[in-house]
Amino acid sequence: MAVIKPFCAVRPTPELADKVAALPYDVMNSEEAREMVKDNPYSFLHVDKAEIDLEPGVDLYDPMVYAKARENLLRFIEEGTLIREPKKAFYIYTLVMDGHPQTGLVSLASVDDYLNNVVKKHEFTRADKEADRIRHVEVTNFHTGPIFLTYVPKDSITKLLEEYQKNHTPLYDFIAEDGVGHKAWSILDEDVIQRLEEEFSQVESLYIADGHHRAASAVRVGEKKRKENPGYTGDEEFNHFLAVIFPSNELRIMDYNRVVKDLNGKSEKEFIQAVEENFTVTPASQPGPYKPQKKHEFGMYLEDRWYVLEAKPHIVFDEDPLKRIDCKILQDNLLHPILGIEDPRTDKRIDFIGGIRGLKELETRVKKNMKVAFSLYPTLIEDLIAISDAGMVMPPKSTWFEPKLRSGLFLHDLE
């Protein structure tokens, strides 16, 4: 059963929260981050992507980058941009995008729950990305970006959070530059804290929705600190990591689409003939990008034309939680056998485009430097949970969650 814990947050002052709050470090490159912060000295990107305050071209893994992150973080604290809470608390965090709200609980999750698979995963991590975040946590001595967790909804938790929101004034309330609303409430009432701990102790599993690398890195740091402190009790801060936990029925997953650089030596005619073995291929009847309307249906953009692909029954295995998701169907029956994309995690011929960028981006990429694009129906949260429960791993870039949690609103000090 899940263990959660309140903590003494380091957080922005309310009047600076909207300026500090930043998108996660891994959704933009360094050049884009520099542009985002050029008029904002308070942005948390100065901590999460500290290379923006060094000479352009610096290696992202240079020790100077991590040292700069710590320097900027400590400066934010010294100048009062970030303040330390004297008392342990939970926080309620609501995001509203296009009128759709989702409300989560900001807390600490347990390293042991991660190791014992109470916190369940659905992705492999890359060693280089994991090493980067390990170093970031070690040098700053903070968890700076929360892990996005979800759980099967529990009415008693939902009602408890709703009641608290109605009866208390938000700590933060702002609309970010992308139009997403952010509200947060602090829970300092010890009775409410205890009730929430008890409620989550009856939750069988937590699932990583987003943040596999950050979670793995936080756990590796925790394990290292345990070895350095053989007399640890389990109550030390390094035994836990920062998370925001949302009920699964409030989450929205967007499509995560693919573009491929070439047809693996095939002509257009040969390629389509190969695709037709496992998919029906029909020219799209409407102009413009094709957005799949149901599971097992795909859009394909090739030579300035959109097609509708529908998986034939013999390649659909709905009884298998992994083989029934569309990104797996596409990988196993087209990308790998026809286009030669054996490992999409490492193959340089494939790229991934999150649904937030729109399907027009697929056309732009094909016209610029790619050959063919595929639009997908979004993965269902129920499938993510089923795959995690089965101990299986999704193909890379299977889910794109929106809205993104902001970094910098809540920090966890490992001391």
Residue 378 is predicted with a pLDDT of: 96
| 140-175 pLDDT tens trace | 999 999 999 999 999 999 999 999 999 999 999 999
| 23-34 pLDDT tens trace | 999 888 999 999
Query: What is the rounded CA–CA span in Å between residue 37 and residue 19?
Result: 10
Q: Tokens in use for 175?
A: 């609309």
E strand segments, 191-255: 206-210, 240-247, 253-254
Mean pLDDT of the chain: 96
Q: In Å, what is the CA distance from 274 to each residue of 76, 224, 249, 277?
A: 57, 50, 39, 6
| 214-272 pLDDT tens trace | 999 999 999 999 999 999 999 999 999 999 999 999 999 999 999 999 999 999 999 99
What does the pLDDT average to over 297-307?
A: 98
Gyration radius (Cα) of the chain, Å: 22
**Predicted confidence (pLDDT) at residue 379 exceeds the cutoff of 90:** yes
Query: What is the rounded CA–CA span in Å between residue 273 and residue 256?
Result: 25
Residue 345 is predicted with a pLDDT of: 86
**Predicted confidence (pLDDT) at residue 208 exceeds the cutoff of 90:** yes
* Alpha-helical runs (H) found in 264-389: 268-275, 326-330, 360-368, 381-389
Q: In Å, what is the CA distance from 255 to each residue of 327, 332, 374?
A: 10, 18, 11
Q: Tokens in use for 329?
A: 């169907």
∠ Cα 387 390 395 (to 5°): 40
Query: What is the rounded CA–CA span in Å between residue 147 and residue 144?
Result: 10
Q: Tokens in use for 333?
A: 């029956």
Strands 372-376 and 305-311: unpaired
Residue 396 is predicted with a pLDDT of: 86
What does the pLDDT average to over 270-291?
A: 96
Query: What is the rounded CA–CA span in Å between residue 27 and residue 64?
Result: 22
Confidence of residue 399 (pLDDT cuts 50, 70, 90): very high
Residue 27 is predicted with a pLDDT of: 85
What does the pLDDT average to over 371-377?
A: 98
Residue 287 is predicted with a pLDDT of: 87
DSSP state letters, 13-51:
-GGGHHHH-B--GGGS-HHHHHHHHTT-TT-THHHHTGG
E strand segments, 188-250: 206-210, 240-247
Hey, what's the torsion of the CAs at 125, 23, 69, 216, to 10 degrees? -20
**Predicted confidence (pLDDT) at residue 96 exceeds the cutoff of 90:** yes
SS3 of residue 159 by DSSP: helix
Name the percent of the chain lying above pLDDT 90. Answer: 94
- All residues at 6 or more sequence positions from 288 whose CB lies less than 8 Å from its CB, including other chains: 306
Q: In Å, what is the CA distance from 31 to each residue of 35, 109, 407?
A: 6, 33, 19
- All residues at 6 or more sequence positions from 51 whose CB lies less than 8 Å from its CB, including other chains: 30, 58, 60, 62, 65, 68
Residue 250 is predicted with a pLDDT of: 97
List the end-to-end C-alpha distance of the chain, in Å, as a whole number.
26
Query: What is the rounded CA–CA span in Å between residue 56 and residue 65?
Result: 12
Q: pTM for this structure?
A: 0.92
**Predicted confidence (pLDDT) at residue 88 exceeds the cutoff of 90:** yes
| 111-144 pLDDT tens trace | 999 999 999 999 988 888 899 999 999 999 999 9
Looking up tokens 């029909």, which residue turns up?
A: 282
Residue 318 is predicted with a pLDDT of: 86
Q: In Å, what is the CA distance from 45 to each residue of 30, 35, 52, 98?
A: 10, 11, 8, 25
